[in-house]
Structure 1
Amino acid sequence: MTKNSYIGAMDRLVHPDLKDVSLAAALHALADPLRLEIVARLVQCPCLNASTSCVEGTPRSTISNHLNVLRAAGLVETSAEGRERINRLRRADFDARFPGLLDSILANKA
């Protein structure tokens, strides 16, 4: 594998089709307080990079892991823009798959 093909492989992010995401996976992603805070921030600001989605004092590696869980549950879409990875909430798609779930969970956020 050449260096360039390896770098290209790093830029490919997997975003599941929401029809393949189970309710259990969605609830698991939203159960963690830090992930829920990231989602709440994405509701307020439609796109964030890893730094701006951070809760103060949280290591970037931890945020990256939480964003991976949110992406796997179909909540977040991540795109590479230059050196940054921009995260967007897949609100319309998620609401179509699980109507009212996100609103209900965010309304009851502790």
Structure 2
Amino acid sequence: MKAPIILETKKGTIIIQATDLLYITVDTTKDHSLCFVTKNEKYYCTGDLNNYEDAYQNWLFRCHRSFIVNLLTIREINKYERRVYFLDDSFNNNCPFSRRKYAPLKQSLKDILLTEQEA
């Protein structure tokens, strides 16, 4: 079981389960603000992507300088569009990945899937 992410937002404390989170991105409209995109909602809080990348490195992957994806919810990595698509996503969210992150992203996804299969 992966540890949930606990966010402090303006509304209060939010707990996001590992299986619900799709990705985390920088909110460009506000300084030092992050957007946590889940299957059903978006949550905003202040912070830095590096904090989440370091704390949850076993199931989150920094695929772009402004995006961290949840390896547990990836459905497809499209090499030609350079986009990541997600499972059970009714809003058809996707996010970009940088060219040099394609091979490490693919390897991290394989590693996490093998780890989850063994558990």
Structure number with the higher strand fraction is 2
TM > 0.5: no
TM-score normalized by the length of structure 2: 0.29
- Determine which structure has more spread, i.e. the larger CA radius of gyration: 1
When you count helix as a share of all residues, which structure comes out higher?
Answer: 1
